[in-house]
A and B are shown apart, each in its own frame.
Chain A
Amino acid sequence: MIGNEPLSFIRQQIMWDRLIAIVEEQAQTLIRTGFSTSTREAGDVSAGVFDVRGRMLAQAVTGTPGHVNSMARAVRHFIDKFPTQTMRPGDVFLTNDPWKGTGHLHDFTFVTPVFRQDRFVAMFACTSHVVDIGGRGIGPDARQVYEEGIYIPLMRFATAAGVDETLVEIVKVNVREPVQVIGDLYSLAACNEVGGRRLLQMMDEFEIESLDRLAHHIVERSRSAMLEAVAKLPEGIFRNRMRIDGYDKPIDLVATMTIGNAGIHVDFTGTSGPSAFGINVPMCYTEAYSAFGIKCIVAPKVPNNEGSLSLITASAPENCILNAKHPLPVATRHVTGQMLPDLMIGCLHEALKGHVPAEGTSCLWNLFAMGGPGRVDGDPAELANAAVFDVMSFHSGGTGARPGKDGLSATAFPSGVRNVPVEVTEALSPILIRQKEYRVDSGGAGEFRGGLGQVMEVVSLDPAPFGISANYDRIQFPPRGRDGGEDGMAGALRLGSGRHLRGKGQQTVPTGETLFIEMPGGGGLGDPLKRDPARVLEDVRIGLVSREAAASAYGVIIGNDLAIDWEATRARRRAG
Chain B
Amino acid sequence: MSERPRLAVDIGGTFTDCVLEHGARRFSRKVLTTPAAPEEGVLAGIDLLLAERGVPSGDLALIIHGTTLATNAIIERKGAQTALLVTRGFRDSIEMAYENRFEQYDAFMEKPPPLVPRHLRLGVPERIGARGQVVEALDEAAVAALIPQLRAAQVTSVAIGFLHSYANSAHELQARAVLGRIAPELSVTLSSEVCPEMREYERWSTACANAYVQPLMGRYLKRLEDELRRRGFHCPMFLMTSAGGLTTVEIARRFPIRLVESGPAGGAILATRIAAECGYDRVLSFDMGGTTAKICLIDDSRPQFSRTFEVARQYRFLKGSGIPIRIPVIEMVEIGAGGGSLAATDQLARIQVGPESAGSEPGPACYGRGGNGATVTDADLLLGRILLERFAGGTLALYPEASRQAVAAAVGGPLGLDEIRAALGISEVVEENMANAARVHAVERGKELGRRTMIAFGGAAPLHAARLAEKLDIATVVVPTAAGVGSAVGFLLAPVAFEIVRSRYVRLDASFDAAAVDAFRGEMRDEAEAVVRRAAPEAPLIESWTADMRYRGQGHDLTVAIPSGPLDAGELVRLFEVQYSLQFGRSIPDLEVEVMSWALRLATTDLPVAACPPTPTRRTVAPVGSARVADPVSGEFAEVPVYRRVELVPGDVVAGPALIVEDETTTLVTGRFTARINGLGHIVLGRRDP
Contacts and interface: CB of A to CB of B under 8 A. Distances in A.
A541 B554 CA distance: 42
Given A410-B92, A426-B130, A426-B164, A32 B436 contact: no
Interface residues of A, number: 88
B348 A222 contact: yes
Interface string B193-214: 0000011110000000000000
Contacts of B89: 433-437, 457
B502 to A, nearest CB: 15
A421 B324 CA distance: 14
Contacts, number: 206
B316 interface: no
A405 B556 CA distance: 35
Contacts of A411: 96, 99-101, 111
A568 B598 CA distance: 60
A63 B346 CA distance: 24
B350 A13 contact: yes
Contacts of A35: 551, 553-554
A262 interface: no
A284 B505 CA distance: 42
A131 B553 contact: yes
A10 interface: yes
Main secondary structure of the interface of B (DSSP, over half): loop
B129 A14 contact: no
B198 A28 contact: no
A118 interface: no
Given A16-B350, A18-B436, A418 B100 contact: yes
A424 interface: yes
A46 interface: no
B109 to A, nearest CB: 8
B105 A179 contact: no
A179 B166 CA distance: 31
Interface stretch (B51-59, B271-279, B420-428, B562-570): B420-428
A177 B591 CA distance: 11
B348 A10 contact: no
A221 interface: yes
A296 B440 CA distance: 26
B36 interface: no
A484 interface: no
Contacts of B542: none
Contact of A7 (B98, B200, B424, B429): B424
B201 A421 contact: yes
A436 B91 CA distance: 8
Given A190-B586, A426-B129, A419 B100 contact: yes
Interface residues of B, number: 71
Interface stretch (A297-305, A493-501, A502-510, A552-560): A297-305
B443 interface: yes
Given A423-B164, A541-B119, A33 B584 contact: yes
Interface string A1-44: 00010110110011011100100110011011111010111000
A436 B93 contact: yes
Nearest to B442: A25
18 contacts: A7-B424, A17-B433, A17-B436, A18-B432, A25-B443, A32-B583, A194-B443, A303-B348, A408-B111, A409-B92, A409-B95, A410-B96, A419-B99, A421-B198, A424-B198, A426-B129, A426-B164, A436-B93
Interface of B: 88-93, 95-96, 98-101, 104-108, 110-111, 117-119, 127, 129-130, 135, 163-164, 166, 198-201, 346-351, 415, 417-418, 421, 424-425, 428-429, 432-433, 436, 439-440, 443-444, 471, 473, 505, 551, 553-556, 583-586, 588, 590-591, 634-635
Given A29-B584, A394-B99, 18 more contacts: A6-B418, A14-B429, A18-B432, A18-B436, A21-B439, A28-B440, A31-B556, A35-B554, A61-B105, A194-B585, A221-B350, A301-B348, A303-B348, A411-B99, A422-B93, A423-B164, A435-B90, A544-B118
**3 closest residue pairs by CB, A with B:** A40-B555, A435-B89, A300-B105
Interface of A: 4, 6-7, 9-10, 13-14, 16-18, 21, 24-25, 28-29, 31-35, 37, 39-41, 61-63, 65, 131, 177, 179-180, 183, 186-187, 190, 194, 201, 205, 221-222, 225, 228-229, 295-297, 299-303, 357, 394-396, 402, 405, 408-413, 416-419, 421-424, 426-427, 432-438, 454, 457, 461, 541-544
